[in-house]
């Protein structure tokens, strides 16, 4: 079985990217990392691992999100990418891009979906009085954080948890869950 060619899209420090790189195995190979933010820390992580790392700054495209995504799509197609992993990519994707990569676009989200889609998940979980929290790996669809769930990891919320302590503990779960789900999905992708 050949390994699936994966591109990881990032906007920041790349801790989930690092987890994916560290766990690389027979199911997938990260061939490209693209950041929409110049100088994002994850780019250096990719280069240190010998992976091509590029910046495609969204700002020159202004409000034309689809134009940015058409450029991104051309980059991915030119490198024969088969699967995309979003890892802290802070852009909501348009229907154009989601449909172009339907079934080949995976995201990690810091909540137990369908609870708390979107942002500020840790604050919202605490405010709601939840007894547990965690993360979800899911397929990306046009509706934000609403695609098929491929895996979840859970943990109890402690009485002394803050949004920051919760975020740190959930991130540890993400680093274990994401590589496992990506590999499992890549293994069965045709």
The domain tally of the chain equals 1
In a domain, 116, yes or no: no
Catalytic residue at 109?
yes
Residue 166: inside a domain: no
The token duo for 82 is 């088969």
Q: b/e string for 149-173 if b means 16 or more Cβ within 10 A?
A: bbbbbebebeeebeeeebeebbeeb
At 4, list the tokens.
């699936």
Q: Is residue 119 part of a domain?
A: no
Alpha-carbon gap, residue 69 to 96, rounded angstroms:
8
Q: Considering 58, 109, 122, 175, which one is annotated as catalytic?
A: 109
CATH no. for residue 32? 3.40.50.170
pLDDT at 1 over 80: no
- pLDDT confidence tier of residue 151, bands split at 50, 70 and 90: very high
> 164 in a domain, yes or no?
no
For residue 60, what is the DSSP state?
Answer: G
The tens digit of pLDDT for each residue in 96-142 reads 999 999 999 999 999 999 999 999 999 999 999 999 999 999 999 99
Residue 159 forms part of a structural domain? no
- The verdict on residue 104 lying in a domain is yes
The per-residue pLDDT for 26 is: 87
At 32 the pLDDT is 98
| Alpha-carbon torsion, ordered 157, 160, 165, 170, to 10 deg | -10
> What is the domain extent for residue 78?
4-110+136-153+179-188
Q: Is 117 a member of any domain? A: no
| 131 part of a folded domain | no
How far apart CA 98 and CA 102 sit, in angstroms, is: 6
25: pLDDT strictly greater than 90: no
């Amino acid at each position: 079985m050949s390994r699936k060619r994966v591109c990881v899209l990032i906007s920041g420090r790349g801790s989930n990217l690092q987890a994916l790189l560290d766990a690389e195995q027979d199911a997938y190979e990260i061939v490209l990392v693209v950041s929409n933010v110049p100088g994002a820390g994850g780019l250096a992580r990719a280069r240190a691992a010998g992976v091509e790392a590029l910046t495609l700054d969204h700002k020159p495209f202004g409000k034309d999100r689809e134009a940015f995504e058409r450029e991104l799509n051309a980059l991915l197609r030119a490198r024969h990418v088969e699967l995309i992993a979003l890892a802290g990519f802070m852009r909501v994707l348009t229907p154009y891009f989601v449909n172009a990569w339907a079934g080949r676009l995976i995201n990690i989200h810091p909540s137990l979906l369908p609870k708390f889609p979107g942002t500020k998940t840790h604050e919202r979980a605490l405010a709601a009085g939840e007894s547990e929290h965690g993360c979800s790996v899911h397929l990306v669809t046009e509706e934000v954080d609403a695609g098929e769930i491929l895996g979840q990891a859970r943990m109890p919320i402690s009485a002394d948890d803050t949004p920051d302590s919760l975020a740190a503990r959930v991130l540890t779960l993400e680093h274990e869950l994401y590589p496992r789900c990506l590999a499992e999905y890549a293994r069965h992708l045709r």
